[in-house]
Structure 1
Amino acid sequence: MSYQDFYYTSQEGLRLYARLYGDALSPGTPVLCLPGLTRNSKDFGKLAEHLSAQRRVICPDFRGRGLSAYCESWTDYTPQAETRDTFDLMTALGIPHAAVIGTSRGGLVATLMAAQRPGALKGVVLNDVGPEISSAGIKRIMGYAGKMNAPDNWDIAAITLRQMNERQFPTITGPEWHEFARQTFRDEDGKPALDYDTKIGDGLRKGMKLTRGKVPDMWTEFNALLGTPVLVLRGENSDLLSAEAVARMQETHPRLAAVTVKDRGHAPWLDEPEAVTAIDAFLEELDRQA
């Protein structure tokens, strides 16, 4: 894969990392790809390669993930902090505005970005996330985030991920699970290792305890997106974003398109033909409006 490593320092003094794809002078709207709770820039590799033919693509590792610095306390792992870091990244790269593709947690960060600095967003792709998320999905994520031990070898890593996710992703092949394992874990002396700070999982569980298990909604923040084109991708088998929530989003937002990705749960991998086609069309429309 052809990307550049980029390190920058946040306002809080954290050394953070991002992958840069494509030419900085490309005419297309630049794209920021923001990952899920325990995920990182590797998840967007195939999509970023594809999109970089027409535009600059920036894929950061949020704090505590991948090659970015870890924090001292679980309280420092919040969407609000990750929003600040993302704005710092845009400043460091000299990018005043971009389209954002946010998977799960990354979509929540995109929503907060719109609430704080709406002019920075040309458009937003929400990958299996919205202002209202299902408690079943949160409980499932709470069950493994920060609790999962690193597998002994890469074969076991692929098997473990398949066992955890096969019901929601029934058509993924054996080699694809091995590839997903390489995205999920980092290589440490030839063996898989966790690629995120386990305190992130602690923060999620403690946050839910403070709200007594109730998942706060973000409809107020979602209103900040009403003037911005939005594309929602929902996994057909998702337990985090319901079809009813997507329908309400469509009723609320006059410029929101929604696509269901077949045979996928939370969250689509963004290499599915219907997802790539939808994203291409969405970004091309943004380019025309520029």
Structure 2
Amino acid sequence: MTGEGFSDFFYTAPDGLKLHARIYGEQISGHWPVVCLPGLTRNARDFHELALCLSRKAETPRRVVAFDYRGRGQSDHDPDIGHYNIGVEAGDVLAGLAALGIEAAAFVGTSRGGLIIHVLGALKPAALKAIVLNDIGPVIETQGFANIRAYLDRAPKPKPFAEAVDAQRRTHGADFPALGEADWARMVGAICRDIGAGWVPDFDPALVDTLAGIDFSKAPPDLWPQFEALAAVPLLAIRGANSKLFSATTLGEMQKRHPAMQAIIVEGQGHAPFLEMGDLPQRIAAFLDRAERQVQQK
């Protein structure tokens, strides 16, 4: 365990790639572990503050595992960009859990991470004890998806930290009026890395190429069958009030199809809400505690 509250864990993917995860908290606490899955170009650092909160909660400390997908963070880049897909990444997560000896856990998925959770529900449903979906559902709005593609740069130039912060604020500021200077700086620290010449996004630039052939005029296939298969799993959905990827209509339909689902709307934020801000860590922790007690009482 480092002085920052976590240890690094490296393991081998089914195809031999070296992958990374962060581990927070004790191995055995008596409570469900939590698995955190980031967005498309994000990494384990996205969950640092939330993971500290969950792993250090006095009454119910939890072991937290935050994954770097292949091509992100400290995981190896894949020479075959065709492997940058949610099916392969779901298999990588299962391999990581097997290496850690984790049979089941609560899952927190931001954006792409939530899509991977839907796949895990089909591959290994018993692994899902509870689910938190952060600004993602069975329907992806094409406008939001197109926006993501528009701001991803195939060959970004390194920037001094202050310029990198300003660039993020200019790109996302309209959707995130709730963020202050410290929040933007923390975001850059999470999604970028310092290569000496400046700060650059911390993912394989080839990942952008996987979006090149997508026709954004057509809606991607929905995941309603996979979502409905999660009906028995305690579920919390979080939506940024300004999100263009996860619509209020989809959230409402999810509540109809999963009546026990809980929902949180985060004002002043878009896609995807910062899970460390405001009272979100405490509300997520409370949701996990309630779900665990309910299961134990059955």
Query: TM-score with structure 2 length normalisation?
Result: 0.93
Please tell me whether residue 49 in structure 1 is matched to residue 44 in structure 2. Answer: no
Which residue matches 1:277? 282
Which residue matches 1:160? 167
Which residue matches 1:68? 75
Which residue matches 1:193? 200
Q: Provide the aligned length of Structure 1 versus Structure 2.
A: 288
Q: What is the letter of the counterpart of residue 44 of structure 2?
A: S
Q: Distance in 2 between matches of 1:171 and 1:212?
A: 31
Deviation at 1:275, TM superposition (A): 2.1
Which residue matches 2:26? 23
Q: What is the letter of the counterpart of residue 46 of structure 2?
A: D
Which residue matches 1:243? 248
* CA offset digits 1:18-38 (Å, max 9, x no partner): 000000011221000000000
Q: Distance in 2 between matches of 1:270 and 1:262?
A: 13
Please tell me whether residue 217 in structure 1 is matched to residue 217 in structure 2. Answer: no
RMSD between aligned alpha carbons? 1.4
* CA offset digits 1:103-150 (Å, max 9, x no partner): 000000011101111100001100000000111100000112243614
1:131 pairs, out of 138, 154, 159, with 138
Q: Distance in 1 between matches of 2:246 and 2:281?
A: 19
Q: Is the 8 A contact 1:10 1:88 kept in 2?
A: yes
Which residue matches 1:230? 235
Cα gap change, 1:156 to 1:183, in 2 (>3 Å): same
Please tell me whether residue 112 in structure 1 is matched to residue 112 in structure 2. Answer: no
Deviation at 1:194, TM superposition (A): 2.5
Which residue matches 2:15? 12
Which residue matches 1:78? 85
Q: Distance in 1 between matches of 2:212 and 2:195?
A: 28
* CA offset digits 1:68-110 (Å, max 9, x no partner): 0111122110000110000001100000000000000000001
Query: SS at the partner of 1:216?
Result: coil
- Structure 1 gaps, min length 5: none
Name segments (4+ residues, structure 1) moved above 6 Å. Answer: none
Q: Is the 8 A contact 2:141 2:219 kept in 1?
A: no
Query: TM-score with structure 1 length normalisation?
Result: 0.95
Q: Is the 8 A contact 1:31 1:55 kept in 2?
A: yes
Query: SS at the partner of 1:60?
Result: strand
Q: Distance in 1 between matches of 2:153 and 2:21?
A: 23
Identity of aligned residues (%): 39
Query: SS at the partner of 1:166?
Result: helix
Deviation at 1:252, TM superposition (A): 0.6
- Structure 2 gaps, min length 5: none
Query: SS at the partner of 1:143?
Result: helix
Please tell me whether residue 255 in structure 1 is matched to residue 267 in structure 2. Answer: no
Query: SS at the partner of 2:276?
Result: coil
Q: Is the 8 A contact 1:18 1:61 kept in 2?
A: yes
1:205 pairs, out of 212, 236, 256, with 212
